[in-house]
Copies of this chain bind each other. A is one copy, B any other.
C-alpha cells in the first residue's frame, strides 16, 4: 500500500522561492511572455519548475483568465445518458473529443435541465466551461438564443443558428433526401412513403419537408397517409416501438408503399422489422432507406441502404470552430454545410412488378 496522504501542490510561489526570483517573473517566463528576460533567470526558473514538478493550477488560472480549456457538450434528452445510447450522438462525440483534444481541450458532458432562457441560461455560465456545443436542440427550445445572449461562445450542431448569429454545423438535408428519392425512382419505385422519428428536431422536420418538396417536383403523388411521424425526442426510449408501429400502420394500408424513406437508421431498422412480421420481403417487396449510416446500418439484416452523414468530421469541425471562437477570433455566424452521400447496400431493390 502506497503512501496515502494528500501532497501539498507546488505553486508559483514555491518555484519563485527556489529560483530566487519573484512570483510574477515565474509566471511571465513560464508563459513565454515576449518581454526579454535574462537567459540566466530564465534557466533558473525552468530548472526549478522541473525539479519541483510544478504544474499550474488550471482552476486558479481559470478564475483569473476566464478560460479552463474545456468545451462543453450539451443536448436535450430527458436522460443525459441517452446521448450515448444513440449512435448519432456517439459518433458525433468521437469527432468532438478528437477535435478538442487536438487543440488541448478536454470535453465535458454538461447536462442541466433546460426550462427556458429566463430561468436556465445563467446556470451555464461560470461553470468552468469555456463554450458550448449544442447538439440538435428541440425546435421549440430557446436554448440557442438563451446561451448566445449571455455572450457564451457557442456552436450548434444539426440545427441552424444563423438567425441568432450563431455558427452551426449541419448536413445538406435537401441533397440527402434527393439522393434517396432519386435512387428509388431509378429503381422504378413510384409509391414512396416516409417515416420520421423525432418530429421536434430540425433535421427530421427538414428532411420531411424536403421529402414532400422533392417528390412533388418529381410529380410523384404522395397521399397524406404515406407520411408518418413517430414521436419526439423526449420519448426516446419508446422510439423503437413507435417506429415499428408507424411502419406497420403504413404497411397495412390497402395500397401500401413499395419504398420507405426514413429520417434515421434506427427507424429504418424498425421498419424492416415491421415488414418482416407482416411477411413483406425486404428488398423484394419493400425497399427501405435509412439516414446517418451508423453501426446499425452495417449490422442490420439486410444491411441498410442509407444516406451517410460525415458525423465524425462534423463533430471535429464544430469543436474546432468553437475553440477558435473561445480563442477570441470571430467565426462567421453561418452554417457550415456538410455533404451527405448515398451508401447503397441491400435494403433497396427494384420496384415489384
Interface, chain A (partner B; CB < 8 A)? 1-7, 9, 53-60, 62-63, 68, 70, 72, 79-81, 83-85, 90-91, 93-95, 97-98, 101, 106-111, 122-123, 125-128, 145, 148-151, 163-165, 295-296, 299-301, 312
Contact = CB atoms under 8 A, between A and B. Distances in A.
Nearest to A61: B126
Contacts of A125: 9, 55
Contacts of A53: 122
Given A151-B6, A164-B1, A299-B296, A126 B56 contact: yes
Given A106-B109, A296-B299, 19 more contacts: A3-B149, A4-B149, A5-B151, A9-B126, A53-B122, A54-B122, A55-B122, A58-B126, A60-B63, A60-B126, A62-B128, A63-B63, A80-B98, A81-B98, A97-B109, A106-B111, A106-B127, A108-B108, A295-B295
A80 B58 contact: no
B94 A84 contact: yes
A128 B70 contact: yes
A101 B83 CA distance: 13
A207 to B, nearest CB: 24
Nearest to A95: B81
Among A3, A63, A95, A296, max chain B CB count under 10 A is at A63
A contact face: mostly helix, strand, loop, or mixed: mixed
Contacts of A145: 2
Given A70-B128, A110-B106, A299-B300, A148 B59 contact: no
A128 B68 contact: yes
A268 B222 CA distance: 45
Contacts of A109: 97, 106-109
Nearest to A55: B122
Given A79-B98, A122-B53, A127-B58, A2 B111 contact: no
B58 A81 contact: no
Contacts of A122: 53-55
Return the 9 tightest CB-CB contacts between A and B, nearest first. A6-B151, A299-B299, A57-B126, A81-B98, A55-B122, A81-B94, A108-B108, A107-B109, A84-B94
B151 A4 contact: yes
A171 B60 CA distance: 39
Contacts of A95: 81
A136 B55 CA distance: 26
A189 to B, nearest CB: 27
